[in-house]
Structure 1
Amino acid sequence: MDALITAAGRALSAGDPLGALNRVALRDDAPALALRGIAMAQLGDFTRARLLLQRASRAFGAREETARARCIVAEAEIALASRDLGWPTKRLDSARATLEAHGDLTNAAHARSLVARRLLLLGRLGQAEHALAQLEPSALPPALGAVHALTVAGIALRRLHTETARAALERAERSARLAGVPALLAEVESACLALNAPAARLVSHGQEHLLQLHEVEALLQSKALVIDACRHAVRDGDAVVSLATRPVLFALARLLGEAWPADVSRDALIARAFRTRFADDSHRIRLRVELGRLRAALAPLAGVRATPRGYLLEPGAASEVAVLARPIEGKHGEVLALLSDGEPWSSSALAMALGASQRNTQRALEALADAGKVQSFGRGRARRWIAPSVPGFTTTLLLPGPLPGA
């Protein structure tokens, strides 16, 4: 490998894409194309970067398997950065196996970390942990060590293990400083801000205030009956009743929880749970049916008792009732929470991360765009959606995924 290629590679490792381009911008040989692709990716031009890497992969000869595998790993990283979560992961697995077979363990470890980060974005925490378990953090170079620690912190944040997340972020910061890559340091700083930002809103006894993640963790470990509007579930310690697929029942549970220890009138329950301003006999019959279903669903944790004017929530073993809500609520809040990371997302990637249909996700994006909350650029499959950072959102808590302790 010639001196210019070596110098460009060192510049990219140090996070200096312009310095790398100054050395190889006018060259079209395979190594130069690969380095130009990585440089363009660091500068944020993902479309151009992917084209250059594909050209480089074709330009490498049949015997240069390791070089082609590195191009595939770089392309996978670009797909992750551009939130193309549908990128074919089998190609990455094949490239990783090739790198391991040829002794390039550093890039093979990088491929494994990309798999773990993709799984984290999709909310598959158990699978992400399994992917990370294949890596030995102490054997990783500083840059990969920082990425590994950031992924560990992301999993811990999603599980609401704040002390584990804090320790992982401290390791990530040390490794990022050793690596000397500004982008890594910025990512660590962003994760630290998420750890210390308001993560949820507590509603109890008619009052409400914001909670940080460690306070949310403490609340879920307390003896209170928690009606979790972030994950649409009712929780009492380790016992959890999910109402994620039963929105009317959850709406009724939340209304009863917000009013506790007082009751809620029948007209108020009908108006807010059924979204109607006029109540007739059919609504009152439906209310009795839905409350009967709610009573059956919550039987292990709480009861619902009729009162002269309405209904009252009666916690079982719990001594308190609290409602845990998002800091900022509104229609399509889950989509906004994902977009608040500042990265460009495709509608298909958003649908995968939310576990929703792509058409419903597209409708939500169109509604948010009409409201001026999100913007798009590109066309067709290259269309991406972005949103400005929304104060008060902690993305990791709002993403879909298993409940804490799951």
Structure 2
Amino acid sequence: MDSMITAAARALAGGDPLGALKRVALRDDAPALALRGIAMAQLGDFVRAKALLRSAARAFGQKEAMARARCVAAEAEIALVSRDLSWPAKALHAARATLEAHGDRANAAHALNLEVRRLLLIGRLDEAERLLADADPTMPLPPALRAARELAVAGIAIRRLKTKAARAAFTRAEQASREAAIPALAAEVESASLVLETPAARLIAGGEERPLLLEEVEALMGSGALVVDACRNVLRDERHAIPLATRPVLFALLRALAEAWPGDVPRSTLLARAFRAKHADESHRARLRVEIGRLRGELHALADIKATKRGFALAPRRAGSVVVLAPPVEEQHAAVLAFLADGESWSSSALAIALGASPRTVQRALEQLAQAGKVQAFGRGRARRWMTPPVPGFPTSLLLPGPLPTN
């Protein structure tokens, strides 16, 4: 490798893409193409970056497997940053295996971290944890890679509601970013750590509500209270969880009863909350009795529902209190807005993968949000992307996106 290529690589490692381009901008050999592609990615021109990296991979040829694998890893990072979740994950896994086989442990670790970040983005926490567990924590890594690894560890801890572990990982990431002396990396660590100081939910109890930090949410889950979690549509105490995400009517009734606890809720209020019935007739009242019976059956391990003169009341079996944990902001298509709140541009197909919803459902939501002026689109066809500026106080997908821990 000649001196100009070496100097350009060092400039990129230090976060200086313009310095790298000064050395290789006019060269078309394979190493120069690869470095130009990475430089363009750092400057935000992802389309040009992907084209250069693919050209570099072809120019390296079949005999230079390690160099080709590095190009694949770089393209995978571009796909992740640009929220192209349809990019083939198997290609990154194969590239990591090639890098490990050739002894390039640093780039193999980088590829593994990219796999973990993608799994976190789509909510597959168990797989992300298994991948991190496979990595050797004692292996010496450059500071930038150590920071990236700690960000992944913190991301898992946040989603598991382990705030102490997350805070410790953010501290290690901050130390590593200072060693790396890359301003963009330091800014990323600082921005990611703000989730611990941002309201993650609202506590509704006794007719009052207040915001909760993630640390307070963790404490609430171990407090012995019966928690109606409106972030995930789950009823839980310290030992049990009853999911109702697929039973929206039952969860609407449960939430109304929990918000009124220890008092009861009039039948007319339950009809309005669960069925949106403005003028209830006998058929509505009959349906309410049926749904209350179904809700009793679902909740029998944790609570009972007692009939009163006015309506119904929730009666916990063991817990001494009942609270509702609600998202900081509740509105239509809040889940879509939560992902867009990271400030990145998303395709509708990527949002569908992350949300586990059909592409058409996501497209309809985006169209409605665009009509309301809450999101904006640019590009056409498959290049169309959606984004919105971060909304103050709005929860991003990092806060409470996945299943709650069961122990």
TM-score by length of 1: 0.98
Displacement, 1:281?
1.1
**Residues 334 and 398, structure 1, Cα contact 8 Å, conserved in 2:** no
**Residues 354 and 399, structure 1, Cα contact 8 Å, conserved in 2:** no
- Partner Cα separation in structure 2 for residue 239 and residue 379 of structure 1: 47
- Partner Cα separation in structure 2 for residue 218 and residue 343 of structure 1: 31
Tell me the equivalent position of 1:247: 248
**Residues 303 and 313, structure 1, Cα contact 8 Å, conserved in 2:** yes
Displacement, 1:399?
5.2
- Partner Cα separation in structure 2 for residue 278 and residue 51 of structure 1: 61
**Residues 66 and 99, structure 1, Cα contact 8 Å, conserved in 2:** yes
Tell me the equivalent position of 2:297: 296
2:5 partner amino acid: I
Please give the per-residue CA displacement for 1:42-74, whole angstroms capped at 9, x wherever unaligned: 111111111111111111122211111100000
Aligned residue for 1:151, secondary structure, equals: helix
Matches within 5 A, 1:125-164: 125-139=125-139, 140-164=141-165
Displacement, 1:397?
5.3
Distance 1:224 1:399, change over 3 A: closer
**Residues 69 and 99, structure 1, Cα contact 8 Å, conserved in 2:** yes
Tell me the equivalent position of 1:70: 70
Displacement, 1:30?
1.2
Runs of 4+ in 1 over 3 A off after TM superposition: 396-400
Tell me the equivalent position of 2:258: 257
Q: Which segment is superposed worse, 191-200 or 377-386?
A: 377-386
Tell me the equivalent position of 1:27: 27
Does residue 306 (structure 1) correspond to residue 310 (structure 2)? The answer is: no
Tell me the equivalent position of 1:375: 376
Tell me the equivalent position of 1:344: 345
- Partner Cα separation in structure 1 for residue 71 and residue 400 of structure 2: 31
- Partner Cα separation in structure 1 for residue 47 and residue 278 of structure 2: 50
Distance 1:405 1:169, change over 3 A: farther
**Residues 159 and 401, structure 2, Cα contact 8 Å, conserved in 1:** no
Tell me the equivalent position of 2:171: 170
Does residue 401 (structure 1) correspond to residue 395 (structure 2)? The answer is: no
The gaps in structure 1 that reach 5 residues or longer are: none
- Partner Cα separation in structure 2 for residue 22 and residue 257 of structure 1: 64
Does residue 4 (structure 1) correspond to residue 10 (structure 2)? The answer is: no
Displacement, 1:275?
1.7
1:190 partner amino acid: S
**Residues 155 and 398, structure 2, Cα contact 8 Å, conserved in 1:** no
TM-score by length of 2: 0.97
Aligned residue for 1:137, secondary structure, equals: coil
Tell me the equivalent position of 2:44: 44
Distance 1:397 1:99, change over 3 A: closer
Displacement, 1:238?
2.1
- Partner Cα separation in structure 2 for residue 350 and residue 375 of structure 1: 14
Does residue 116 (structure 1) correspond to residue 110 (structure 2)? The answer is: no
Matches within 5 A, 1:90-239: 90-139=90-139, 140-239=141-240
**Residues 230 and 398, structure 1, Cα contact 8 Å, conserved in 2:** no
Tell me the equivalent position of 2:79: 79
**Residues 354 and 400, structure 1, Cα contact 8 Å, conserved in 2:** no
Does residue 387 (structure 1) correspond to residue 388 (structure 2)? The answer is: yes
Aligned residue for 2:37, secondary structure, equals: helix
- Partner Cα separation in structure 2 for residue 37 and residue 190 of structure 1: 26
Once the two structures are aligned, what percentage of the paired residues are identical?
67
Distance 1:399 1:80, change over 3 A: farther
Displacement, 1:97?
1.5
**Residues 195 and 213, structure 1, Cα contact 8 Å, conserved in 2:** yes
- Partner Cα separation in structure 1 for residue 117 and residue 48 of structure 2: 23
Displacement, 1:141?
1.6
2:19 partner amino acid: G
- Partner Cα separation in structure 2 for residue 252 and residue 398 of structure 1: 26
Q: Which segment is superposed worse, 90-99 or 305-314?
A: 90-99
The gaps in structure 2 that reach 5 residues or longer are: none
How many pairs does the alignment contain?
Answer: 406
Please give the per-residue CA displacement for 1:106-128, whole angstroms capped at 9, x wherever unaligned: 11111111111111111111100
- Partner Cα separation in structure 1 for residue 285 and residue 173 of structure 2: 56
- Partner Cα separation in structure 2 for residue 398 and residue 373 of structure 1: 21
**Residues 206 and 259, structure 1, Cα contact 8 Å, conserved in 2:** yes
Tell me the equivalent position of 2:323: 322
